[in-house]
C-alpha cells in the first residue's frame, strides 16, 4: 500500500466516513449535475492521497462533496490542494460588509467571476448556518450614511435609476414565465455592465440611496434566478450583496426581503431551523418600517419554515398574522418590489404550509384557491401550486389517498412546465415522483405520469 502524502484529504475523508469508492461516486454525481466531465474512480482518489494534485475544477468538486457530507464549508487548503492567487476565497461574498467601497469591489468581482464561470461559485456549497453571524451583525447595525460619490465620472440621474428598475421588471417577468435558467447570464451581464458603471459614477446622497436600492433589487433578483437554477452557494452570495446594498440605501424592509428569500431557499434545502431564523430576522430587523404587505410576506416565510419543522401551533399563528397584515395592505403605499405578493400568492403560502403539516383538506383548498386566483403571468408559480395540490392527494390515511387524481393534476403541471427552465420545478417533480413508488405496481396512472415526465426530460435535453 502506498504511503499517504495528502494527510489533510485523508483526515477529512475519514471524518466524513467516505471510502475512495464512495468519494469517487459522489464526485461523478456532482460533476454530472453540473454538466462537467467526470469519469472519477477509486484509482484517482488513491493518486490524490499519494500527493497528486488534480487539475481543472476537480479540487473544487472534492471540496464541495466533502463540505456537503460534513455540513460545513471545506476549502482547497482543507483538502491539501492549496488555492492559487486567482481563486476566490471560500467565504467570498458572504459577509455583512456594508461599507460602500467594499460593496463596489465585491459586487464587481462577483459579477466578473460569475460571467467567467468561476468554479467556486458554481460548485461550492454554503450551509445556511454560515449566514447566522452576518444576520446578527445586520440586526444590530446602526443606520448608514447616505452613499455619495464625487469625481470626474458622469453624474447619475433619477432617470438612470428608473431605467434600472424597469430593466429589473423585464428580467423578473422572464424569470416568472420561463424560469431562472432562461436569461440569468444576460441579467448578470446587465449588472456587470450598466449597474456597475452607475455604482462607480458620481451621485448625490438622495440619488445614491435610490441607486443602491434599485441595485439591491436587481441583485437579489439575479440571486433568485441562481436559486431557481440550483446554484445555491452562488445565490447566497448574491443575496448577501443585495443585503449590503439595501443596508447602505437605508431600506430595512428591502433588506428584510433578502432575509425572506434566504428563508425560502433554506426551507427548500431542508435547513428548516435556519429558515425560521432568517424569516424572524426579517420581521425583527424591519419592524415598524415594513408596510402591511411586506410584513405579511415575512410572516408567510416564517409559517412555511415552522410548518416544515412540524410546529403546528406557531405555524398557524404566523399564517393568521400574515392574513391579518395582508388585509391591511394598500397597493399605493407598498414598494413596487412586493407587488407580486397578492391574494393568490398568500393562498399559495397557506397551501404549502398546510401541505408540510399534512393537513390534506386545507392544503387542497388553498392550492385550488391559488390556481383560481393566480395570473397567467406567473406560470412557474402555478406549476408549484399544481404540484402541491397533486402531493396533497397522496396525503391522509391509505383509503383517503387518490393516486389517480394526484397523477392527473401532476400531469397537467408537466404540460405547463414544458417551456420552464427551472431546477426547482424539476426538483418538485422529482419529489412527487418519489412519493409514487409505493403505488407503481398498483396504479396504471403512475406509469403514464412517469412516461410523460421522462418524455419532458428528453425534450428539455435535446
Confidence of residue 1 (pLDDT cuts 50, 70, 90): very low
| Lowest-confidence region among 28-42, 197-211, 352-366 | 28-42
234 in a structural domain: yes
Q: What is the mean pLDDT of residues 63-86?
A: 77
The pair phi, psi for residue 149, each rounded to 5°, is: -140, 140
349 in a structural domain: no
Confidence of residue 262 (pLDDT cuts 50, 70, 90): very high
111 in a structural domain: yes
Beta carbons within 10 angstroms of residue 4's beta carbon: 13
Q: Residue 394: how many CA atoms within 13 Å on its side-chain side? A: 22
The DSSP bridge partners found for residue 155 are 202
- Domain hosting 54: range is 7-70
Question: Is residue 124's pLDDT more than 90?
Answer: no
Confidence of residue 4 (pLDDT cuts 50, 70, 90): low
| Same domain (yes/no): 105, 244 | yes
| Lowest-confidence region among 11-20, 120-129, 274-283, 449-458 | 120-129
332 in a structural domain: no
> Which pLDDT belongs to residue 403?
94
| Same domain (yes/no): 101, 165 | yes
Cell of 408: 392527473
Q: What is the mean pLDDT of residues 204-211?
A: 97
More confidently predicted of 3 and 447: 447
15 in a structural domain: yes
Question: Is residue 134's pLDDT more than 60?
Answer: yes
The closest of 251, 254, 23 to 239, measured between CA atoms, is 254
In sequence order, the 6+-apart residues with CB closer than 8 A to the CB of 391 are 355, 363, 406, 431, 432, 435
Beta carbons within 10 angstroms of residue 442's beta carbon: 9
| 156-181 pLDDT per residue, tens | 999 999 999 999 999 999 999 999 99
Which of 210, 230, 250 terminates a domain? The answer is: 250
Cell of 244: 449590503
Question: Is residue 85's pLDDT more than 50?
Answer: no
Would the pTM count as exceeding 0.75? Answer: yes
263 in a structural domain: no
| Same domain (yes/no): 24, 150 | no
User: What is the 3 state secondary structure string of the chain?
Assistant: CCCCCCHHHHHHHHHHCCCHHHHHHHHHHHHHHCCCCCCCCHHHHHHHHCCCCCCCCHHHHHHHHHHHHHCCCCCCCCCCCCCCCCCCCCCCCCCCCCCHHHHHHHHHHHHHHHHCCCHHHHHCCCCHHHHHHHHHHHHCCCCCCCCCECCCCCECCHHHHHHHHHHHHHHHHHHHHHCCCCCHHHHHHHHHHHHHHHHCCEECHHHHHHHHHHHHHHHHHHHHHHHHCCCHHHHHHHHHHHHHHHHHCCCHHHHHHHHHHHHHHHHHCCCHHHHHHHHHHHHHHHHHHCCHHHHHHHHHHHHHHHHHHCCHHHHHHHHHHHHHHHHCCCHHHCCHHHCCCCHHHHHHHHHHHHHHHCCHHHHHHHHHHHHHHCCCCCHHHHHHHHHHHHHHCCCCCHHHCCHHHHHHHHHHHHHHHCCCCCHHHHHHHHHHHHHCHHHCCCCHHHHHHHHHHHHHHHHHHC
What is the C-alpha to C-alpha distance for residues 113 and 1, in angstroms, rounded to an integer? 41
Which of 195, 230, 250 terminates a domain? The answer is: 250
389 in a structural domain: no
Question: For all residues of the chain together, what is the average pLDDT?
Answer: 91
| 221-239 pLDDT per residue, tens | 999 999 999 999 999 999 9
Query: 70: burial class by Cβ within 10 Å (0-12, 13-18, 19+)?
Result: middle
What is the C-alpha to C-alpha distance for residues 293 and 330, in angstroms, rounded to an integer? 8
| Same domain (yes/no): 63, 109 | no
| Same domain (yes/no): 195, 242 | yes
Cell of 440: 407503481
Beta carbons within 10 angstroms of residue 320's beta carbon: 12
| Lowest-confidence region among 4-13, 59-68, 80-89 | 80-89
| 290-336 pLDDT per residue, tens | 999 999 999 999 999 999 999 999 999 999 999 999 999 999 999 99
| Same domain (yes/no): 14, 105 | no
In sequence order, the 6+-apart residues with CB closer than 8 A to the CB of 236 are 94, 126, 130, 131, 223, 262, 265
| Same domain (yes/no): 178, 117 | yes
> Which pLDDT belongs to residue 247?
97
Rg (CA), the chain: 23
| Same domain (yes/no): 139, 239 | yes
Which of 206, 232, 250 terminates a domain? The answer is: 250
Helix 379-392 / helix 403-417 crossing angle, nearest 10 deg = 170
30 in a structural domain: yes
| Lowest-confidence region among 29-33, 235-239, 334-338, 453-457 | 29-33
What is the C-alpha to C-alpha distance for residues 351 and 364, in angstroms, rounded to an integer? 7
Q: Are 328 and 292 in contact (CB under 8 A)?
A: yes
Question: Is residue 83's pLDDT more than 60?
Answer: no
Counted domains in the chain = 2
Confidence of residue 82 (pLDDT cuts 50, 70, 90): low
> Which pLDDT belongs to residue 95?
95
Residue given cell 430595512 in the structure block: 252
| Same domain (yes/no): 66, 187 | no
The DSSP bridge partners found for residue 202 are 155
Cell of 99: 461599507
| Same domain (yes/no): 118, 55 | no
| Same domain (yes/no): 152, 212 | yes
| Same domain (yes/no): 11, 108 | no
Query: 140: burial class by Cβ within 10 Å (0-12, 13-18, 19+)?
Result: exposed
Amino acid at each position: 500500500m502506498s504511503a499517504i502524502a495528502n494527510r489533510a484529504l485523508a483526515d477529512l475523508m475519514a471524518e466524513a466516513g467516505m471510502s475512495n469508492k464512495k468519494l469517487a461516486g459522489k464526485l461523478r454525481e456532482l460533476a454530472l449535475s453540473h454538466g462537467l466531465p467526470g469519469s472519477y474512480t477509486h484509482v484517482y482518489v488513491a493518486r490524490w492521497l499519494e500527493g497528486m494534485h488534480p487539475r481543472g475544477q476537480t479540487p473544487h468538486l472534492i471540496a464541495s462533496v466533502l463540505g456537503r457530507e460534513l455540513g460545513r464549508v471545506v476549502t482547497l487548503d482543507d483538502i491539501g490542494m492549496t488555492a492559487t492567487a486567482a481563486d476566490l476565497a471560500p467565504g467570498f461574498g458572504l459577509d455583512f460588509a456594508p461599507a460602500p467601497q467594499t460593496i463596489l469591489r465585491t459586487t464587481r468581482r462577483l459579477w466578473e467571476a460569475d460571467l467567467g464561470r468561476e468554479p467556486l461559485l458554481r460548485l461550492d456549497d454554503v450551509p445556511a448556518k454560515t449566514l447566522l453571524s452576518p444576520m446578527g451583525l445586520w440586526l444590530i447595525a446602526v443606520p448608514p450614511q447616505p452613499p455619495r460619490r464625487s469625481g470626474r465620472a458622469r453624474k447619475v440621474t433619477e432617470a438612470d435609476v428608473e431605467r434600472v428598475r424597469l430593466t429589473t421588471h423585464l428580467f423578473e417577468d422572464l424569470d416568472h414565465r420561463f424560469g431562472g435558467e432562461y436569461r440569468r447570464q444576460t441579467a448578470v451581464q446587465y449588472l456587470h455592465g450598466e449597474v456597475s458603471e452607475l455604482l462607480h459614477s458620481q451621485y448625490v446622497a438622495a440619488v445614491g440611496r435610490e441607486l443602491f436600492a434599485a441595485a439591491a433589487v436587481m441583485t437579489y433578483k439575479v440571486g433568485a434566478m441562481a436559486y431557481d437554477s440550483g446554484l445555491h452557494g452562488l445565490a447566497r452570495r448574491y443575496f448577501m450583496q443585495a443585503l449590503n446594498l439595501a443596508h447602505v440605501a437605508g431600506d430595512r424592509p428591502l433588506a428584510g426581503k433578502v432575509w425572506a428569500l434566504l428563508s425560502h431557499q433554506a426551507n427548500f434545502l431542508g435547513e428548516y431551523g435556519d429558515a425560521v431564523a432568517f424569516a424572524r430576522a426579517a420581521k425583527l430587523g424591519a419592524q415598524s418600517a415594513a408596510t402591511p404587505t411586506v410584513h405579511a410576506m415575512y410572516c408567510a416565510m416564517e409559517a412555511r419554515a415552522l410548518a416544515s419543522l412540524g410546529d403546528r401551533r406557531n405555524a398557524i399563528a404566523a399564517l393568521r398574522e400574515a392574513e391579518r397584515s395582508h388585509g391591511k395592505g394598500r397597493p399605493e403605499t407598498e414598494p413596487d418590489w412586493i407587488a407580486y405578493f397578492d391574494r393568490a400568492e398568500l393562498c399559495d403560502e397557506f397551501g404549502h404550509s398546510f401541505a408540510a403539516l399534512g393537513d390534506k383538506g386545507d392544503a387542497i383548498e388553498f392550492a385550488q384557491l391559488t390556481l383560481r386566483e393566480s395570473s397567467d403571468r406567473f406560470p412557474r408559480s402555478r406549476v408549484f401550486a399544481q404540484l402541491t395540490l397533486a402531493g396533497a392527494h397522496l396525503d391522509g390515511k391509505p383509503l383517503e389517498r387518490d393516486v389517480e387524481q394526484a397523477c392527473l393534476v401532476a400531469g397537467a403541471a408537466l404540460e405547463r412546465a414544458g417551456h420552464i427552465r427551472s431546477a426547482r420545478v424539476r426538483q418538485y417533480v422529482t419529489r412527487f415522483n418519489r412519493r409514487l413508488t409505493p403505488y407503481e405496481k398498483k396504479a396504471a396512472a403512475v406509469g403514464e405520469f412517469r412516461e410523460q415526465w421522462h418524455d419532458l426530460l428528453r425534450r428539455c435535453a435535446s
